[in-house]
Amino acid sequence: MTDVRIVSVRVVDLRFPTSRDRIGSDAVNKDPDYSAAYCILSTDSAIEGHGLTFTLGRGTELCVKAIEHLAQFATGRTLRSITDDFVAFSRQLTDESQFRWLGPEKGVIHLACGALINAVWDLYAKVEGKPLWRLLADLSPETIVSMVDFRYIDDAITREEAATILSVSQSTMSERLGHLEAEGYPAYTTSAGWFGFSDEKIRQLCRQGIADGWTHFKLKVGGVPSDDLRRGRIVREEIGPHNRLMLDANQKWGVLEAIERTRALGSLDPWWMEEPTSPDDILGHARIRREVMPIRIATGEHCHNRVMFKQLMQAGAIDVCQIDSCRVAGVNEVLAILLLAAKFQVPVCPHAGGVGLCEYVQHIALFDYLRVSTTMQDRVIEYVDHLHEHFLDPVVIRNGRYMPPHKPGYSIEIYQESLKRYAFPDGDAWSDDHRAMD
């Protein structure tokens, strides 16, 4: 491959004032301003690598500062020197000897690692002239395995098992590729069911969703029980008995309450209950799952690393693995989790919706289909219909399905004018706001 050298890293504190319309609201996250710590790797060529980690507004500045610190491990490096030993690079970030205490492999530091590592992957895919999903799908089993850090997960999956999964899929990839290009990848919409929306708005958005070809709808729950049930009935009425309804409690309940509340919503025939309790509670999820069967249990958007995902699978705690593209340490750790999910036969339905997440996770799901799980059965990517206008290569949805992106990279690049307008606190979007508040 052509090589390039990373010469500098610029980080932007980017915030969109979404809380004004209660978009993104749920039982726990009442007023998110969808935001990102966004980084740009400049190189000695015209090609740049872009990456972000998704946040909810306040605190983004902490991720920005963490990325600025970790950027020293990328600056001055050639792309090839990183990709030739990707695990070593990843560990330089996650094991920074003094920073590590603040995690390890969790929270602000790990979110920052995600942004930076994803930016390197965006650069890598652009240099290779391929969309990320295709770059990954074309790699040999040995190369992919060499990019995965098996530390702390080799009791659950060995390198050999991973290589076997990737080898078997390689020979049958071409027919799946044709199917993907023709049909796209199934998705679900979260846009109709935000917590802060009125009954009438939910009803109207469900009708619109059906008209647009959606077949899977998610509703935020975790409020007053009778409200949850009433709102759920509205959605079920509008989407009918055959389309799928998913419920999302966003960590609102304790284990016992989650069991009771999930059972009480059983009459809605939910396809899954998402985040019924603390994202850290592996054994709690396992118990909830046992006690509410056949309602399926989903979690993952707050699951902070591969060690936690490993245990969710070992404990039989989840039916759906909702991987996030930047809460874990970027593409490399995502690969580890996809391989674990394949080993344990848990379907991966990535978390998205937050700014840039739909653009990111489509690549993960496409690669998973082509080279890891090899099936779309019971798999859907989350979709939310906002903020896509800021991206150079926004997702394309057709009849409720993601169509494969074709531009080189990880689809995460944001227009310069958006980066400027929504920069916090000095961009016009915020200084106008401040003026309005004076």
Residue 307 interacts with a copy of itself (CB under 8 A)? yes
Question: Annotated catalytic, 434?
Answer: no
Residue 160 interacts with a copy of itself (CB under 8 A)? no
Residue 104 interacts with a copy of itself (CB under 8 A)? yes
In the window 44-103, what residues touch a copy of itself (CB under 8 A)? 55-59, 61-63, 65-66, 69, 95-103
Of the pair 147, 156, the CB lying nearest a copy of itself is at 156
CB 424 → a copy of itself: shortest distance, Å?
A: 12
Considering 220, 304, 310, 363, which one is annotated as catalytic? 220
Q: Which of 32, 330, 400, 427 binds a copy of itself (CB under 8 A)?
A: 32
Of the pair 151, 263, the CB lying nearest a copy of itself is at 151
HEC states along the chain?
CCCCEEEEEEEEEEECCHHHHCCCCCCCCCCCCCEEEEEEEEECCCCCEEEEEEECCCCHHHHHHHHHHHHHHCCCCEHHHHHCCHHHHHHHHHCCCCHHHHCCCCHHHHHHHHHHHHHHHHHHHHHHCCEHHHHHHCCCHHHHHHCCCCCCCCCCCCHHHHHHHHHHHHHCHHHHHHHHHHHCEEEEEEEEECCCCCHHHHHHHHHHHHHCCCCEEEEECCCCHHHHHHHHHHHHHHHCCCCEEEEECCCCCCHHHHHHHHHHCHHHCCCEEECCCCCCCHHHHHHHHHHHCCCEEEECCCCCCHHHHHHHHHCCCCCEECCCCCCCCHHHHHHHHHHHHHHHCCCECCCCCCCCHHHHHHHHHHHHHHHHCCCCCCCCEEECCCCHHHECCCCEEECCEEECCCCCECCCCECHHHHHHCECCCCHHHHHHHHHHC
Rounded CA separation 341/322 (Å): 10
Question: Could you give the string, one character per residue 236-275, with x where binding to a copy of itself holds by CB under 8 A and - elsewhere?
Answer: ---------------x--xxx-------------------
Question: Cβ distance 368 to 183 under 8 Å?
Answer: no
Of the pair 243, 325, the CB lying nearest a copy of itself is at 325
Of the pair 122, 281, the CB lying nearest a copy of itself is at 281
According to DSSP, the β-strands at 185-193 and 49-55 are unpaired
Rounded CA separation 173/252 (Å): 41
Residue 407 interacts with a copy of itself (CB under 8 A)? no
Q: Which two tokens stand for residue 89?
A: 């690079």
What strand order describes the sheet that includes 49-55? 6-15, 35-43, 49-55
Q: Which of 283, 375, 415, 426 binds a copy of itself (CB under 8 A)?
A: 283
Q: Which of 279, 350, 400, 404 binds a copy of itself (CB under 8 A)?
A: 279
Q: CA end-to-end span of the chain, whole Å?
A: 55
Considering 50, 110, 252, 351, which one is annotated as catalytic? 351
CB 115 → a copy of itself: shortest distance, Å?
A: 13
Residue 280 interacts with a copy of itself (CB under 8 A)? yes
Residue 343 interacts with a copy of itself (CB under 8 A)? no
CB 434 → a copy of itself: shortest distance, Å?
A: 17
Residue 289 interacts with a copy of itself (CB under 8 A)? no
Of the pair 32, 409, the CB lying nearest a copy of itself is at 32
Q: Which of 4, 51, 67, 110 binds a copy of itself (CB under 8 A)?
A: 110
CB 74 → a copy of itself: shortest distance, Å?
A: 17
Query: Which span (26-34, 166-174, 187-195, 377-385) binds a copy of itself, by CB under 8 A?
Result: 26-34
Based on its alpha-carbon atoms, the radius of gyration of the chain, rounded to whole angstroms, reads: 21
Question: Annotated catalytic, 220?
Answer: yes
* 261 phi and psi angles, rounded to 5 deg: -70, -40
CB 232 → a copy of itself: shortest distance, Å?
A: 24
Question: Could you give the string, one character per residue 176-215, with x where binding to a copy of itself holds by CB under 8 A and - elsewhere?
Answer: ----------------------------------------
Token look-up 């080799």 returns 154
CB 283 → a copy of itself: shortest distance, Å?
A: 5
- Total residues in contact with a copy of itself, by rule CB under 8 A: 62
CB 403 → a copy of itself: shortest distance, Å?
A: 29
In the window 126-155, what residues touch a copy of itself (CB under 8 A)? 150-155
Q: Which of 9, 23, 52, 109 binds a copy of itself (CB under 8 A)?
A: 109
- The catalytic residue positions are 220, 351
Q: Which residues sit at the interface with a copy of itself, rule CB under 8 A?
A: 28-33, 55-59, 61-63, 65-66, 69, 95-111, 150-155, 251, 254-256, 277-284, 287, 302, 304-305, 307-308, 310-311, 314-315
